[in-house]
Amino acid sequence: MSEMEPDKIIKEKKPDSKWSDWGRLGKWNVVGYKIIEGNKGPRSDKLQRARYMLVNRPWDVMYEHSYGLVSRFFEALMEKKLVGTKCPKCGDVFCPPRAHCWRNKCKLAETEWIEMPMHGILHCFTVLGFAGEAFLSDLPFILAYVRVEGANTLIAGRLVGMNPEDVECDMKVNIKFVEHPSGNPMDIYFVPEGPPLNRRSAEEKARMRAQLEPIRAWVKEKFKK
């Protein structure tokens, strides 16, 4: 295929008319999307067709951007599936996905799609005391980086279902989906697979609770929880 072809809309969800008031309501949420067939290739005379997902995120303007060659990952989220990619040469697995392998010896080999298991290991985490407007009412919350079983990379998401002072690296976690996924990275979250490891001392836990108390008090006052 060498001629430029216009994008072909395969599936579309148009933003609700309420998003015309984007300045107040937007908060950078995914509110609409299109799945299209478009052009892919290094030059205009060496084009192929590929499938992409474009999402609408209102913030100052109704912004439409493409998820590009990893669109399938976000489509799968809407189906409550977790997918990654695997290099056919070295076997490295990427979740979140990469369209091409990162190893020099593989020379940007195009990766293949695979379905990922819904569990992994907590590699590292941080407890957020401040965040974007969409997450202020949930503070303090745990941002976790998890290595899904079989993956060579880490995926970020919220860890829920336990107190921040009980979270420790190397915990086993399960991966869950929000009730209504929209093709947003925040469609997934993590929950502990078992009880806390309890490697942190009582004094350390008490110190962390004391540090988080002003944040909880601020949220309670701001949102009248």
Phi (first) and psi of residue 140, to 5 degrees? -80, 140
Please indicate, yes or no, whether residues 79 and 154 belong to a single structural domain of this protein.
Answer: no
The pLDDT tens digits for 103-125 are: 999 999 999 999 999 999 999 99
Please indicate, yes or no, whether residues 90 and 145 belong to a single structural domain of this protein.
Answer: no
Please indicate, yes or no, whether residues 177 and 158 belong to a single structural domain of this protein.
Answer: yes
pTM: 0.80
Q: Which residues of 150-169 are buried (b: 16+ CB within 10 A; e: fewer)?
A: ebbbbbebbbeeeebbbbee
Please indicate, yes or no, whether residues 90 and 169 belong to a single structural domain of this protein.
Answer: no
Please indicate, yes or no, whether residues 88 and 176 belong to a single structural domain of this protein.
Answer: no
Please indicate, yes or no, whether residues 183 and 133 belong to a single structural domain of this protein.
Answer: yes
Q: Decide if 187 contacts 77 (C-beta within 8 A).
A: yes
How many domains is the chain partitioned into structurally? 3
Last residue of a domain, one of 116, 135, 152: 116
Q: Decide if 19 contacts 58 (C-beta within 8 A).
A: yes
* Structural domain span for residue 83: 72-116
Please indicate, yes or no, whether residues 82 and 175 belong to a single structural domain of this protein.
Answer: no
For residue 38, the surrounding DSSP H or E stretch is: strand 32-40
The DSSP bridge partners found for residue 188 are: 177
The pLDDT tens digits for 34-77 are: 999 999 988 888 899 999 999 998 776 677 889 999 999 999 99
Q: What percent of the chain is modeled with pLDDT above 90? A: 72
